[in-house]
Amino acid sequence: MVQINFALKEVNCKIVFYGPGMSGKTTNLEIVHQKAPESNKGTLTSISTDGDRTLFFDFMPLDLGTVAGMRTKFQLYTVPGQVYYNSTRKLVLQGVDGVIFVADSDPDKLSENIESYDNLIENLAEYGKDARELPHVIQYNKRDLPNAMTVEDLDKAMNKFGVPTFEAVAHTGEGVFPTLKTLAGMVLESIDRMDHRRKSPAQKEAARTPEPQRAPAVRRPAQSGAAQRQRQGQGKPKQGGPRRRAARPKGQKKGQQPRRGRGTPSGSRPALARQRRVAPREDAPLRRGNGGGMNLLIFLVVLLAAGIAGVVYFIMNNPEL
């Protein structure tokens, strides 16, 4: 979850490298740490076993610098890939803003890739997040393997949401930065589109009215992976750099227009990356109830006073009574 701290003038985002065991998540982070400018990176911390397998997570902060007066930082984490570490993997995913899924191009690891990707979707769902809405990319790592699967086959097998994909050889550094750059851009875009920025004065006014009227005003349709991909795919890949694939959503034919996201009407602007759920205010009915009761009480008191005044007036005008 993005933290915006106006006192410290900081924006903090959490990015997680996810994927099956030994797919190259920690290697990605180590390369980022090696190659990032000294002034932008913090310490790389690993909680790992004696055999250098990630036990809990690896962590390093990456400082983007000051953006429009706000110091913007990415906290980069990896998760342990082995299946039996799911509980710790889930903990690291808490509050995540973007995910880089590092897949292994070895054909023997395909089922592990698919299992891990499904596990990501499942774990996100446990935090109430829909993988289609969360900024994420897939990196096909170990492209230097002689028997590496083709990117087309990997796409067919894994890329069910049509997210941006990258080819990489993480241990040489190839493809590591383009993957991170794209994901970081997607996360920053999602911040930029946060609903508080998009509120018009009329919407702000609506926010002050009781909740039943306010809820629809701040609701936003969800953004699909396809919509993200469409935006991300607008720029051309750099010459000589790792190939960034304009992956198609599953079942979509070449040349076919990308499918619009769920809840995104055709022709409308791309929806927000984060859907803000709005629940009715718990105290609103109570306050309305109290207001109505108070009015009724005042009315009864006035009625009673008028009645008493009438009786007194009647008695005074009829001394014989």
The residue ranges that bind another protein (CB under 8 A) are 1-8, 11-12, 14, 36-37, 40, 42-43, 45, 47, 56-57, 59, 61, 64-65, 67-70, 72-73, 75, 77, 87-88, 91-92, 94-95, 177-178, 180-181, 184-185, 188-189, 191-192, 194, 196-197, 199, 204, 207-208, 276-279, 281-283
Nearer residue to another protein within complex by CB, 37 or 51: 37
Q: What type of residue is 87?
A: S
Nearer residue to another protein within complex by CB, 93 or 158: 93
Question: To the nearest 10°, the Cα dihedral for 227, 230, 234, 237?
Answer: 120
Distance spanning both ends of the chain, measured CA to CA: 79
CB of 36 to another protein, least distance (A): 8
CB of 136 to another protein, least distance (A): 17
CB of 8 to another protein, least distance (A): 7
Nearer residue to another protein within complex by CB, 30 or 104: 30
Nearer residue to another protein within complex by CB, 126 or 152: 126
Nearer residue to another protein within complex by CB, 73 or 109: 73
Nearest Cα residue to 178 out of 110, 100, 104: 100
Nearer residue to another protein within complex by CB, 72 or 165: 72
Nearer residue to another protein within complex by CB, 4 or 121: 4
Q: What is the 3-state secondary structure (H, E, C) of the chain?
A: CCEEECCCCEEEEEEEEECCCCCCHHHHHHHHHHHCCHHHECCCEEEECCCCCEEEEEEEEEEEEEECCEEEEEEEEECCCCHHHHHHHHHHHCCCCEEEEEEECCHHHHHHHHHHHHHHHHHHHHCCCCCCCCCEEEEEECCCCCCCCCHHHHHHHHCCCCCCEEECEHHHCECHHHHHHHHHHHHHHHHHCCHHHHCCHHHHHHHCCCHHHHHHHHCCCECCHHHHHHHHCCCCCCCCCCCEECCCCCCCCCCCCCCCCCCCCCCCCCCECCCCCCCCCCCHHHHHHHHHHHHHHHHHHHHHHHHHHHHHHHHHHCCCC
Six-digit token string for 18: 């996810």
CB of 87 to another protein, least distance (A): 6
CB of 176 to another protein, least distance (A): 10
CB of 184 to another protein, least distance (A): 6
CB of 116 to another protein, least distance (A): 20
CB of 55 to another protein, least distance (A): 11
Nearer residue to another protein within complex by CB, 151 or 186: 186
For residue 51, the Cα-to-chain-centroid distance in whole angstroms is: 33
